[in-house]
Amino acid sequence: MVSTRRFAGVSLWAGVALLAVSVYFFLASVSYISGQAVVAALLSAVIGFVLLSSATSLIRTYVIARAVEQNPGESGH
């Protein structure tokens, strides 16, 4: 059986990586706006928002996994 702790760590690092990539797309969006490429800027901003949403979801999954790991007896029901 595979440990959930390993998946929690992967979730954290994948979330941090996606967060970094989303910041890159936001910065690219700003540079495209300054260059008058409006459609490319909007597309880059949308990609940045989608990646940011994915990153926060993965980091939230890591936090939930750690909380359950520390308190295994409390299921919340």
In 3D, which of 16, 30, 20 has the Cα closest to residue 61? 16
What value does the mean pLDDT take over residues 61-75? 80
The predicted pLDDT at position 33 comes to 87
Return the ∠ at Cα 17 (arms to 9 and 14), rounded to 5°: 30
Is 46's pLDDT higher than 50? Answer: yes
Distance of CA 54 to the CA centre of its chain: 4
CB 41 within 8 A of CB 32: yes
Q: Which residues contact 58 (CB under 8 A, 6 or more apart)?
A: 11, 12, 14, 15, 18
* pLDDT band for position 75 (cuts 50, 70, 90): low
Average pLDDT estimate for 58-75: 82
Least confident of 2-16, 23-37, 47-61: 2-16
Mean pLDDT of 1-10: 66
